[in-house]
Structure 1
Amino acid sequence: MIRQFLLFPGSRRSRPARTLSAIGGVVLGLLLTTTATAEPLYPRPDPDPFYAAPADLAAHQPGDVLGARALPPLAIFPGATVTLVKFRSTNSHGAPIAATTTVLTPFGQRPGGPLLSYQHFINALGTQCAVSHALYSGDRNVTVTMPTLNVVLAQGWSVALPDHLGPYFAFGAARLGGQITLDGIRAVKQLSALGVQHSPTVLAGYSGGGLATAWAAALQPSYAPELELAGAAFGGAPMNMVTMAEALGLGPHRSFGLAMAAAIGLEREYPDRLPVSSYLNPRGLEVREQMANSCANEILTAGIGGSAGEYVTDTSIFDSREARSVVEENSLELYAGVPETPIFEWHSPDDKQIPVESIENTVRRWCAAGVRVQTQRMPAVVPLPDVDHLSAAVLGAPAALLWLDARVRGEPAPTNC
């Protein structure tokens, strides 16, 4: 079970790892000169009123609890109680938003036991795809991977699972994910019934979830300086979307659907600077409609065989300075801030789905700034594009879990900078 901790599913129906190497190129490729006008297509509001923002949202501070309710027990987490917490967070423009996190409390919890904020990947555009919903819908992206959290639950850890894409499901807005993650921790620490007010707190995630984890660690000193984090472990995180953009272009990509979904998601978060919809041709707008409220598998299906060049009205590329700046703002390699908490980072040097050089550049910069980083390179198991990314998740998970356990026990963090 430990080997599966933090793992992305590897089935043919679910390929989140493929998304990450295509996001940047499609985002920029869709921002082309045209006279068409179309508004961003936001997701349908969640039909559950609990998720709605209260009228007095602006009166609250980031991390303030806006509501909490018990959820039914989950068979995949025997003995754990489940609590949904709504809290105030902040979007990419500094405006207040309402967000949610799902808290798993182990049976017989000892108050003050460790708290893990685990950022699961959420490759989706529809509100029904939130982790807090997917836990109950039978979504294989969750049901296949989440039971491995029983490893830490059995050790008395509580686990928070933030819906880190925000209320508009801004897939691709990585910095937003870091802020929501931090505010989710703030919120659960406010609720005395959860017993984690004084808990040592760690973060974890892989690939898309690793990116939200890494952003949370890097943002914590400026965004949530009062939070004390014992450590953050992440793997396979795409640190630079600009680098991915420059490597791709407008040709077909096997995971074009999820890459286009990222363009749609970023437009939701940056509608004035990234007006993707205004540059889509009729076929592109049709595919956008198909994807707008879909989860990962449906998005992949809608985009099979597609390409950015096929769905836009012009094939000029990289012309928009505003578009590029949005991608830069969500590229952690280009963010000047550094974490204060210790870091465990792992990846395969042969990973073709993410810019490995950007990971290593970021780690070197953090090391030079005095961050205690332990990085681990996973050997290639099978020299195939997707396999290296997914196998690294499996191979690095045991070491990451042991590293996290040492941090919550207060052991000094090792470094191989």
Structure 2
Amino acid sequence: MRSRITALFVVLAAVGALVGFPAAAAADPVDLIADPDPFYAAPADVADAANGDVLDSRRVPTSAYPGTDVWQVKFRSTDSADDPIAAVTTVLMPQGRGAGTPLVSYQAIVNALGTKCAPSHGLFSDELIEAPAVYLGMVARGWAVAVPDYLGPTAAYGAARMAGQITLDGVRAVKQFEQLPLRDSPVGLLGYSGGGLATSFAAALAPTYAPDLDIAGIAEGGIPSDLAQIAQNLAYSPLPHPGFGMAMAVALGLEREYPGRFPITPNLNDRGIALRNKMFNECRRSILIDGAFNSARDLSTAASLADTPSAQQVLRENSVTFFDGVPTAPLFVWQGVNDFIAPYQPVADMVDRYCRSGADVVFRGYPAAEHFSATVLGLPEAYLWLDARLRGEPAPSDC
């Protein structure tokens, strides 16, 4: 496992890019492959449960994380249409720790459209490339770490507001889960890139969506905070972009979550349909490799879907830069100034708005860093900052 930790900082995939595809002939949609494991299915009475209520649980026997007890907890949450869903979080609990063990919800970097690629699977394969850092940087520190499947039961990549809701409900579920002594534990949230987007939405939603949660601190970095701007950068760059597969994947994820409002499939040409069908149920490698060096201009024949009112509204609803909520928990935010995936300025503007609204924020903008190197520069300080909050130290602020 240790040999994989370098891959965390080298292979981190671009997350949070969006694209709108122009129109061509419609095509029959590819069916999403639901997870065949019945554990993931929503019970018939899921609507009767409250957000964060535990619906089911199971112990996971594994040797992947020595000295750690691993549980998976299914809980009730809410999707983007405010309908009830069942979601899952995987909890890594250091053996020998008891009541008061800090609980950190880590939102992983999930570059995927397939249900098979969720963290609850990827933690036990090579899909979740930062798994060594989860273990060595967090569990070995003495934290209980919950890793939610924040894309939900349909792997709705890009649905950031739902991701924030699932994140918060996952914390609620773990705190009330009777098999673990975490009810009174201090809580922290942590995420980078796509995980940073889920974390940032959880931070902004928490005061209204989960006011019952007392969150000690939230560390978020590499945030793709303005999805419309990222769509333009990745989908319509002068030359075909190496990260285009992630852009298309997020667009397809939004189509799943917002049927009729973000209609990708009817607006693709034959080449676009072929690429869509190839990646529709796939994980990181397929999306990165098959999608690389494409352009929206080559996959369609008409004007940009991203310019249509419904698509623009979907992008805005899932861009934390434009979300009115202001976190009340202390924040540590880091971003590369030269980030070519998740631009720096919208994050700086978000931090400025938070500061003017009274939030406590430490902001690190790394002048020479882009999306990948910013991870290396910011994550060690994020660990130290979050550890201090979990120990009850007063939060500093740059505001």
Same-fold call, TM cutoff 0.5:
yes
- 1:350 and 2:347 equivalent? no
Deviations 1:292-315 (A, max 9, x none): 110011112221332111112324
Check whether the contact 1:8–1:16 (CA below 8 A) recurs between aligned residues: no
Q: Secondary structure at the match of 2:206?
A: helix
Question: 2:262 aligned with 1:274, yes or no?
Answer: yes
- The 8 Å contact of residues 231 and 247 in structure 2, kept in 1 or not, is answered as no
Q: Tell me the CA shift for residue 379 of structure 1.
A: 4.1
Q: 1:160 aligns with which of 146, 163, 170?
A: 146
How many residue pairs match? The answer is 396
Q: SS where residue 230 of structure 1 aligns? A: strand
| 1:400 is aligned to 2:388 | no
- The 5 A counterparts of 1:204-215 are 204-215=190-201
1:134-169: CA deviations, max 9, x gaps? 122233x43x54344333323432100001111110
Match of 1:16 among 13, 18, 22: 13
Structure-2 change in CA distance of 1:101 and 1:317 (3 Å): closer
User: Partner residue of 2:123?
Assistant: 135
Give the partner amino acid of 2:298.
E
Q: Does the Cα contact within 8 Å between 1:231 and 1:341 map onto a contact in 2?
A: yes
Q: 1:41 to 1:226 in 2, by over 3 A?
A: farther
Q: Deviations over 1:384-410 (max 9, x none)?
A: xxxx22111111112111111111111
Q: Which amino acid aligns with 2:293?
A: G
Does the alignment pair 1:341 with 2:340?
no
Q: Secondary structure at the match of 2:179?
A: helix
Structure 1 stretch displaced more, 312-321 or 393-402: 312-321
Instruction: Give the partner amino acid of 1:64.
Output: D
Q: Report the secondary structure of 2:348's partner residue.
A: helix
Contact 1:41 1:268 (8 Å CA) reproduced: no
2:48 maps to amino acid: A
Task: Determine the C-alpha separation between the residues in 2 that align with 1:266 and 1:163.
Answer: 16
Q: TM-score, normalised by structure 1?
A: 0.90
CA contact (8 A) 1:175 1:215 kept: yes
Which segments of 5 or more consecutive residues in structure 1 lack a partner in the other structure? Answer: 382-387
Which residue does the alignment assign to 1:172?
158
Distance in 2, Cα, partners of 1:63 & 1:8? 33
Native 8 Å contact 1:53 1:98 kept in 2? yes
| Corresponding residue for residue 57 of structure 1 | 46
- Which residue in the other structure is 1:384 paired with? none
CA spacing shift, 1:308–1:132, aligned 2, 3 Å: same
1:222 maps to which residue? 208
Aligned position for 1:256: 244
TM-score by length of 2: 0.94
Deviations 1:105-160 (A, max 9, x none): 10101212100000011100111101111122233x43x54344333323432100
Shift of 1:319: 3.6
What does 1:191-340 correspond to in 2, within 5 Å?
Answer: 191-248=177-234, 250-251=236-237, 252-316=240-304, 318-340=306-328
Q: Are the counterparts in 2 of residues 69 and 83 from structure 1 also a CA contact under 8 Å?
A: yes
Task: Report the identity percentage.
Answer: 49
Distance 2:396 2:12 in 1: 33
Q: Output the amino acid matched with 1:391.
A: S
Letter in 2 for 1:204: L
1:385 is matched with none
1:326-371 superposed Cα distances (whole Å, 9 cap, x missing partner) = 0011110101110010000111212222121100000000000000
State how far apart, in whole Å, the 2-side matches of 1:116 and 1:42 are: 35
Query: What amino acid does structure 2 have at the position aligned with 1:66?
Result: L
CA–CA distance in 1 between the matches of 2:293 and 2:138? 40
CA distance in 1, matches of 2:169, 2:46: 14
Distance 2:246 2:138 in 1: 31
- Contact 1:153–1:159 (Cα < 8 Å) also in 2: yes
Call closer, same or farther: CA 1:33–1:390 in 2, change over 3 Å: closer
2:58 alignment counterpart: 69
Partner of 1:44: 33
Given that 1:127 and 1:293 are in contact with CA atoms closer than 8 Å, whether structure 2 keeps it comes out as: yes
Task: Note the residue ranges of structure 2 that are not aligned, 5 or more in a row.
Answer: none
Specify the SS of the correspondent of 1:298.
helix
Contact kept? 1:103, 1:159, Cα under 8 Å: yes
Note the C-alpha offset of 1:38: 4.1
2:96 maps to 108
Q: Which amino acid aligns with 2:392?
A: G
CA distance in 1, matches of 2:28, 2:328: 40
Task: Give 1:283 shift.
Answer: 1.8
Q: Does 1:414 align with 2:366?
A: no
